[in-house]
Amino acid sequence: MAIHYLEEHNIFQLDTANTSYLIGIVDEEKFPGHIYYGSKIRPGDASYLLRTQEPPYVPSRNNRERTSFYDQFPFEYPGNGLGDYRESAIAVETLQGNTGVMVTLESYEILEEKPVLEGLPASFGNEGKTLVLHCRDGVLDLEVDLLYSVFEAEDVITRSVRVRNGGSAPVWLTKVYSACVDMDCRDYEMVTLHGSWARERQIDVRTLGYGKQSVGSVRGETSHQEHSFLALRERGTTQERGEVYGFQLVYSGNFLAQAEKTQMDMLRVVMGIHPQGFKWKLEPGEGFTAPEAVLTFSDQGMGKMSRNFHDFLRGHMIRSPYRDKKRPILINNWEATYFNFDTEKLLEIAEKAARLGIEMLVMDDGWFGHRNDDNSSLGDWFVNEEKLQGGLKALVDRVNALGMKFGIWFEPEMISPDSQLYREHPDWAIRIPGRTASLCRNQYVLDFSRKDVRDYVYNSVKAVLDSANIEYVKWDMNRQLSDLGSAELPADRTGELYHRFVLGVYELQERLVTDFPNLLLENCSGGGARFDAGMLYYSPQIWCSDDTDAIERLKIQEGTAMLYPLSTMGAHVSVCPNHALGRVTPFDTRGYVALAGTFGYELDVTKLPEAEQAKIPGQVALYHQYNDLVRSGDYYRIASYGQNHEFDCYMVVSRDRDEALVTYVQVLNRPNYRSRLIRLQGLDPEKTYRLEAVEGGEEMAALEGRRFGGDLLMKAGITIPNPWGDFQGRLIYLRAE
């Protein structure tokens, strides 16, 4: 049983395969308190961990120190403005301007089915159960449901919150976090992901000090700069050893993830929608649902945390029919042509690509309106027939005749000042009256809080998809939100615009995958600015970064793979010198790095040197040979170029432990060194593995065909000679006998 209620102790215990999460209800007022989260324990009386037998005791015993109780008790969902001076999980404003709120338990339910989070992406298919703590603030008549769903096999517990105004007057929510966890603070480090355009999701580790340490976004999207994730780990934790708590938010807009070390050496972790710019009006009877937070605990290091997240996202967040099958190898024309293309140029690329084994042509930005650069036409989703002579269907039909699929790029959330749509509907752009609206990439953001805008955009996109056999869509978003103002929202609801925008994006993508169930949707936001679990609910893959340089991608893909399955990472082979950096990397290495993602090409294949063209069929064959393993296997991080500045190494092992693929990239060569010894992970120590193949060099030829015990490879390791030169990659394939 995944959820136990120990009635004699007033304790709820939630168990996964390897973890336990305990909640205690204390005092006559029934405050929900956090008791324990960590390695699995047997049910029993753990209430002493709440320390209510110590001063300041509980309010019914010592009401003169109520604020001291509030400021020290480990709340499951702490209130605001009444004496708990740590970060609150919920905050309100009443008609009278009051901000105090505190919820206590009224009743509980243990549900067989996981409740739907209306309008939001959320996990599904948990074989465990869901605990709902029905809480209430009796003064405000505010009902607050705390939802806990157990995913036993994945060692995951998800949390969300539903709020309903049960009173007779409106209330404004100014903060509604999805989760709070209070615990004792040990010698923790905080792990987060930071970056910028072209260098997303770089791993950052800091010592956890006193006060509040956070990452967040107020850009209207998850952002290039920070990511909706944090982990807390014991100092000295490695990939294989140590305790780690991981927190991830299923949301694609403004967020806050924060750890706060307090005066009592306690630790409060909160996660949810960022309160800056958020103010949601609840009329009597109205409700609000917070997005889902995903919690996992590992006592086997960072690697187990990653694999927990991977299994959870693959099994319970991604719905696409492409989740469990190969995606077509595509070639995108963006870095090949930018805006300078026409029908014949696209067909020239497609014809050459088809002969080399590439399976899909994707037409990127520049096919619509009168768009020949990035200064016009967003919102005008009709074909520019000066470029596409004969129209879109004629092009698609000719590409299909080559045996290739066809895909197309959209940026549905945006509008150009120079567009037919803007001239007809300037009020559809998000802007503040009286202010000069801020442009970014010479474009504005459409007001997706408005149904008329959403309907127009969706119908425009649908008309294009209905017009031809289009099997893939790249949905892009190339700027952040600013100038938050809506021509339609009333003054007392303008604080809802950020969240309503995100709900609008979710609505449109839900309509898209419902109307086109076999469509392969890839999300993108100037690269990786909206790479999050919320987007994966609609698309099985997300463009990882606009930086396609293979060496930079090592760091970007390492940070991404810390949370997300390799199958979700859009990764392509591009031309050298690389368009972002000017770096020259061997074509083989570019292919090996891209094989750790969805795999495709971002180049003009007709202009490639003959030697590189000749390598494409071999790369295509490698994709078809190894993608099932890469897509569904367990991921192990062996070494980090981002940390050691010399080489990168990771591997994927099949779930039955019969196959393993090791990717090794020597970034910088070293003079006068012997071979590098690499200890593998995740193999079966009782099995014998044959080294079936090494791709990329002859240095290991003597080891091909050799047999090794799994225990030998993990405890002693395998030797990899230093290849000649920098940026050299190798693939090593092992199969159990």
Kindly list the catalytic residues. Answer: 476, 546
Report residue 635 as tokens: 């991921």
Q: For residues 294 and 149, give the distance between their C-alpha atoms in angstroms, rounded to a whole number.
A: 10
3-state secondary structure of 250: strand
Backbone angles phi, psi at 520, to 5 degrees: -90, 110
Q: For residues 634 and 412, give the distance between their C-alpha atoms in angstroms, rounded to a whole number.
A: 35
Show the DSSP H helices in 517-569 as ranges. Answer: 533-536, 550-561
Asked if 601 and 572 count as a contact pair (C-beta separation under 8 A), the reply is yes
Q: Quick count: other Cβ atoms within 10 Å of Cβ 320?
A: 20
Asked if 665 and 648 count as a contact pair (C-beta separation under 8 A), the reply is yes
Q: Quick count: other Cβ atoms within 10 Å of Cβ 452?
A: 11
248, containing H or E segment:
strand 244-250
Angle between helices 616-632 and 343-356 (to 10 degrees): 80
Report residue 280 as tokens: 């949601």
End-to-end CA gap in the chain: 38
Strands 600-602 and 573-574: parallel
Q: What is the dihedral of CA 58, 60, 64, 67, to 10 degrees?
A: 40
Q: For residues 571 and 585, give the distance between their C-alpha atoms in angstroms, rounded to a whole number.
A: 15
Q: Quick count: other Cβ atoms within 10 Å of Cβ 95?
A: 9
CA angle 623, 627, 628 (to 5 degrees): 145
Q: For residues 233 and 207, give the distance between their C-alpha atoms in angstroms, rounded to a whole number.
A: 10
